[in-house]
Structure 1
Amino acid sequence: MSVLIKLRDQRNLSEAENQVREYILRYPKRVLEYTVYDLARESFTSPATIVRLCKKLDIKGFSRLKVLLAEETKYFQNIKLNLLDTTTIEKDDSPGAIIDKITNISIKTIEETRVLVNEEELLRVARLMKDANIIDFYGIGASSLVAVDGQFKFMRIGKNVIVHQHYDRQYVQAVNSDASHLGIIISYSGETKEMLQIAGILQKNGTPVVAVTSSGENSLNRIADHNLFVTAKETVFRSGAMASRTAQLYVIDLLYAIYCSLDYDEIIQKIQKTRIDQVK
């Protein structure tokens, strides 16, 4: 997990904690030379505020935070990632400028999400999918489109996959699930009321829950048994919706490819068999 991305995406911070967050994100290299008292002075806060922020990030103290910052700032510099950069479509942008901005948003969103990818967790989820009798995808709004994409991919390779775009049907789907199912809930915010209700039902039914959600602490990733984290550049009209969809699709693609690698030869045959131009 990237501490810088987690710091940027962290929600529910106090005003003072947010001041520390903004300072670290803006000047990470300076922070490497600071004591906790230096950072408190420069961010107009207190050492206690910095300690509380570290706890919210699940980091054991300011010294550990500096170690993680040292590792990440060098890496982000090498791949030219600016975590504070935002890209918005302006009123007078030309079509060419819009094309360039959207292209940059998509590339940077995938690069940031790659930093969050946990290979072992992806492999664990892929194996759970292989063992499940039924895979249930859940999502509302733009996330429901990602769920449909996941359904089609795994249906092609012979998995019994269910997805409904209307919430009332998703609710029934969850109520009828059991331990032989695997529930994959897609929600960038992790706070969508309907998806939290679905997660609670699945948990009660003994259905393993996988969340595709943001790296910041949220209600969904606290409930889920497994978390696949994504991040999103702020985009277009100062909204992350377009980028979050790109990141979610990217993670589903990774999951699908790793799943296929578990039984490569057999799955390649299934993919060939289900090509549309092969269907008579």
Structure 2
Amino acid sequence: MFNYEIIQSLNDLELMLYRYIMKNADKVVYMRIRELADEAHVSTTTILRFCKKVDCEGYSEFKIKLKMHIQKNESNKINDDTSIIIDFFKKLDNSELEKKLNTLCDLIKAANNVIFIGTGTSGILCKYAARYFSSIGRFAMYIDDPYFPRNYKMYEDSIIIAISVSGETATVIDHISNLKRENSTIVSITNSENCTIAKISDLNISYYVQRERIGISDITTQIPVLYIIESIGKRLHNKVIDSHM
């Protein structure tokens, strides 16, 4: 409702009115124009001029749009309870997941290189995963830049672990498609197995939690991914110890 261009066009009195409205929006939708003028210490003329600048014919239309703006923001509030995480951990007693985690450990043990690939928040998790694996004695690298130089020959006989919530990140799919030609084993960690990255992987681990977004930003919890990363690392460490005994 109040974009950058509109705010830039306001004069000092209108900016003072804007600041008052932002702090007291819930009250303003029920105020008469004279009440708002008195409270904000501006004239009714300033208020009507302000309404015009925010593309409203008059004060009544402005109050309707302001109320809709408040309701929209209320509907965008996110769920902050722990039910999603609790539900994920309840599903962990799953023999299929156990089998996949153990299979992945064996693949990592046999690979020449371990490389994590992802972008955005998943890219940050790739960096964490590479550091975590290296800390337990299995050196790993990560690629979190979609435009990383693509000398794919050096990744021959590597295991590539792609992390993606949606499983539809175009640059990651492009990386995977090229790496498959170099005899690399592709493993993916995604929210669902019904996505492109999961379908083109040799092994997919999916965790199925409720997707959450704010606008274009995906804020789906990453706790399941952290659990999977750390679980694989610990199992791998124990397998290496067992093989030396």
TM-score normalized by the length of structure 1: 0.53
Which of structures 1 and 2 has the bigger CA Rg? Answer: 2
2 CA distance for matches of 1:200 and 1:93? 37
> Contact (CA 8 Å) 2:213, 2:220: kept in 1 or not?
no
1:186 is matched with 163
Q: Provide, for residues 261-280 of structure 1, a one-character-per-residue CA deviation record: whole Å limited to 9, x for no partner.
A: 2134799xxxxxxxxxxxxx
Alpha-carbon distance change, 137 to 173 in structure 1, aligned in 2, over 3 angstroms:
farther
Corresponding residue SS for 1:186 = strand
**Residue 128 of structure 2 corresponds to residue 152 of structure 1:** no
2 CA distance for matches of 1:222 and 1:125? 17
1 CA distance for matches of 2:182 and 2:218? 31
1:210 Cα deviation (Å)? Answer: 0.4
Corresponding residue SS for 1:262 = helix
1:258 Cα deviation (Å)? Answer: 1.6
2 CA distance for matches of 1:262 and 1:143? 27
Match for residue 150 of structure 2 among 133, 156, 172: 172
Alpha-carbon distance change, 156 to 184 in structure 1, aligned in 2, over 3 angstroms:
same
Q: Provide, for residues 33-59 of structure 1, a one-character-per-residue CA deviation record: whole Å limited to 9, x for no partner.
A: xxxxxxxxxxxxxxxxxxxxxxxxxxx
1:172 Cα deviation (Å)? Answer: 2.3
1:174 Cα deviation (Å)? Answer: 4.3
2 CA distance for matches of 1:238 and 1:264? 47
Corresponding residue SS for 2:82 = helix
Alpha-carbon distance change, 129 to 216 in structure 1, aligned in 2, over 3 angstroms:
closer
Gapped runs of 5+ residues in structure 2? 1-72
1:119 is matched with 98
2 CA distance for matches of 1:140 and 1:226? 20
Alpha-carbon distance change, 123 to 266 in structure 1, aligned in 2, over 3 angstroms:
closer
Alpha-carbon distance change, 105 to 118 in structure 1, aligned in 2, over 3 angstroms:
closer
2:3 is matched with none
> Contact (CA 8 Å) 1:134, 1:159: kept in 2 or not?
no
> Contact (CA 8 Å) 2:137, 2:237: kept in 1 or not?
no
> Contact (CA 8 Å) 2:136, 2:233: kept in 1 or not?
no
1:103 Cα deviation (Å)? Answer: 3.1
> Contact (CA 8 Å) 1:233, 1:240: kept in 2 or not?
no
> Contact (CA 8 Å) 2:186, 2:203: kept in 1 or not?
yes
Higher helix residue share: 1
1:224 is matched with 201
1:200 Cα deviation (Å)? Answer: 0.5
2 CA distance for matches of 1:116 and 1:243? 25
Higher relative contact order (Cα pairs below 8 Å, separated by 6+ residues): 1
2:43 is matched with none
1:248 Cα deviation (Å)? Answer: 1.4
Q: Provide, for residues 192-250 of structure 1, a one-character-per-residue CA deviation record: whole Å limited to 9, x for no partner.
A: 10111111011111100001113341111111111111212244749994334222112
1 CA distance for matches of 2:76 and 2:194? 35
% identical equivalent positions:
20
**Residue 233 of structure 2 corresponds to residue 252 of structure 1:** no
1:116 Cα deviation (Å)? Answer: 8.7
Q: Which runs of 4+ in 1 moved over 4 A?
A: 112-117, 236-240
Alpha-carbon distance change, 257 to 160 in structure 1, aligned in 2, over 3 angstroms:
closer
1:78 is matched with none
